[in-house]
Amino acid sequence: MKKILLIGTGGTIASAPTGEGLAPGLTTEELLRRIPDVKKACAVDCVQLLALDSTDIGPRHWRMLVECIRENYGGYDGFVITHGTDTMAYTAAALSYMIQNSPKPIVLTGAQKPIGFDTTDSRANLTDAFLCASADLPGVSIVFDHKVILGTRAKKTRSHSFSAFESINYPELAVVRDGVLLRYIRQECAAAPIFYPELNHNVALMKLTPGADREALDFLFTRNDAVIIESYGVGGVPQEGGFYDCIKTWKGRGRFAVLTTQVENEGSDLSVYHVGHRLKNELGVLEAYDMTTEAVLAKLMWLLARTRDQAEVTKLFYTPVAGDILWTAGR
């Protein structure tokens, strides 16, 4: 029988009504009691690491999760993390860089409705997560609404529906049907994981909007080592508003700029239009291609904790980790 560690961080799945809305309150042991049949399939130990709405979860808590898994890695066959849905994709991406090549499953799940509600997706999601954590499903994934999604490819695309997450620019790893795991893709792994506990959280995100100018971008560069610019379509910045000169100035001061797109599917390609071509060919701006914004943010935090050398940052950014980037046309 497989031995699984259940790590609780809070979220809707563990929430209960209060006078000011839902708030996390149930422990991992209480969650486990709601799905008693799981104990017939695997042995489960519980750790209540956090009790937070996922809106409050960030890099400091990612480090706590990594340390918890590192300390317990030798004693368990797999790990299930219960987590709020709002930032689950960010956490899954971060763990994908901080725990690389894991031969053991590290599964995140949560719910759109608390486990105590009559109509809820909590019990199904949690049961599926234990099934996946007990299987040959290496690496970090999100299990939600009977889908298994690679940690670097997940995005929350619905705010209320049970089918809250999608796999972006990448197939689902597996699905669960009638309690059976049907796997399509097996992640590559090694004999043992590599843990990277350090992050540089001085990374910001700017969403480009019509009429914006360089002032907001200047401000972000003054406070951060890297700025991700979510542009339109295949990517680029306006020729007016000083964006090009702003990026050129801050790149000369050792900052890093990454261009991505606000469009969820199919990725960027700065070589298509003049507004993007100059950035890539004259300034050497990094391009996200088919990566999710969540993965870009986490990857920059991971790699900038390792190096600030321009050539090495570029090399690491374009080196695939946990299936995060496939398409690099024009590079």
Active site residues: 12
- Euclidean distance between CA atoms 92 and 83, whole angstroms: 10
- Euclidean distance between CA atoms 290 and 285, whole angstroms: 16
Instruction: Say if residues 246 and 253 touch (Cβ distance below 8 Å).
Output: no
Residues 6+ apart with CB under 8 A from 8: 14, 27, 28, 31, 46, 47, 48, 49, 50, 51, 81, 82
Question: In this structure, what are the phi and psi dihedrals at residue 286, rounded to the nearest 5 degrees?
Answer: -70, 145
What residues are paired with 109 via a beta bridge?
82
- Euclidean distance between CA atoms 16 and 48, whole angstroms: 16
Q: Which of 41, 38, 110, 99 is nearest to 73 (CA)?
A: 99
Question: CA torsion 93→99→104→109, rounded to 10°?
Answer: -30
Encoding tokens for residue 237?
């910045």
Residues 6+ apart with CB under 8 A from 14: 8, 24, 25, 26, 27, 28, 30, 31, 51, 82, 114, 115
- Euclidean distance between CA atoms 210 and 13, whole angstroms: 38
Residues 6+ apart with CB under 8 A from 90: 294, 297, 298
What residues are paired with 206 via a beta bridge?
229
Q: 114-149 as b/e, with b when 16 or more CB fall inside 10 Å?
A: bbbbeebbbbbbbbbbbbbbbbebbbbbbbbbbbbb
244: helix, strand or coil? helix
